[in-house]
Amino acid sequence: MNKKSALLIAPALALAAMTFSSGAAMAADNGTSTFETNLGAINGSNATGSVWITLTGDQATVTENVSGLAATFNGAAYPHAQHIHIDGAGVCPAPSADTSGDGVISTTEGGPSYGKIGTTLSTSGDTSDKAALDLAVAGMGASYKYERTFTMNAETIASMKAGKAVVVVHGLDPATLPAAAQKEMSDLAPTLPLAATSPALCGTLAVSQMAAMPGGAPGTGVTTALAPTNASTSPDVAWFVGGGALVLAAGGALALGRKRTVAAHKSTVAK
């Protein structure tokens, strides 16, 4: 594409793409709603995490960051099954949920707090409760970022909107359990140790105060041109292309911006 011609259409685009803020708060595009939660450690996992979900109709994009989970299991990356639980009390279990008194809140013991599995946050394939224990599609290792868009079932959506949906990430380091509990087998999968399936992170999804969660880190620094001799490949131009409509808008909006900010700019420079 000819860069010059692209820049020539900037003024018209600018007015369409960019306005000085004047209206009330905007609803998000397309009836999108956003849910979020910070994940807290359960069973002494010392892990942390956060999850946010953008929902448009029945299309959900789940973004999750976790760290500090158990790293390895039998010499391989530790599989952390993860789900959105629904139809319970909509809370994470308190220590008193450990009805067996073995020092570990098992997945079953946490059930009354967070409910049954509504959605499996699998890395591929089935996202229903049928994939709940498929460790091949679990989160892997101590820290990971999970991002996936899928069709979310109606039950999970309803529970999320009712404030009753709880994200639970499973899988503890057996060495962190009380000695007796280290020898116990899982309440869910009798071939696995209790540690493998017990909850490690938990958080109740709430409606986000952000109508739409911004993705990534804000691009509030202008990449400077290192080799201005070749405009078509300089980083400067790359930045312009990367900014999409806004970038094309820059030239036109600027006339407006300059007039209104000349005073601010001067005082900024003067100090």
Partner 1 sequence: MLAASAPVSLSVPDIGLTTPLLSLGRDAKGEAEVPPGEAGSPAGWYKYSPTPGEQGPSVILGHVNTTTIPEGVFYRLHELKPGEQFSVSRADGSVLVFGVDRTEIFQKASFPTLAVYGNTDRAEIRLITCGGYEPSTGEFVENTVVYGHLLSSTK
Binding region for partner 1 (CB under 8 A): 18-26, 28-29, 36, 38, 50, 52, 54, 63, 65, 206, 208-226, 235-236, 239-240, 243-247, 249-251, 253-254, 257-258, 260-265, 267-271
Q: Quote the least distance from Cβ 96 to partner 1, whole Å.
A: 26
Q: Quote the least distance from Cβ 242 to partner 1, whole Å.
A: 9
Task: Report the C-alpha gap between 23 and 28 in whole angstroms.
Answer: 14
Nearer to partner 1, 95 or 214 (CB): 214
Residue with tokens 């399936």: 197
Nearer to partner 1, 74 or 267 (CB): 267
Residue with tokens 């820049």: 7
Rg (CA), the chain: 25
Q: Quote the least distance from Cβ 183 to partner 1, whole Å.
A: 37
Q: Quote the least distance from Cβ 253 to partner 1, whole Å.
A: 5
Residue with tokens 């400067």: 236
CB 172 within 8 A of CB 43: yes
Q: Which one-letter DSSP state was computed for residue 45?
A: -
- Neighbouring-strand partners of residue 79: 140
Nearer to partner 1, 174 or 235 (CB): 235
Nearer to partner 1, 38 or 100 (CB): 38
- Residue 44's closest CA among 90, 109, 91, 95? 95
Q: Quote the least distance from Cβ 198 to partner 1, whole Å.
A: 25
Distances (CA, A) of 121 to 80, 112, 133, 145: 10, 20, 11, 12
Nearer to partner 1, 76 or 270 (CB): 270
- Neighbouring-strand partners of residue 54: 34, 61
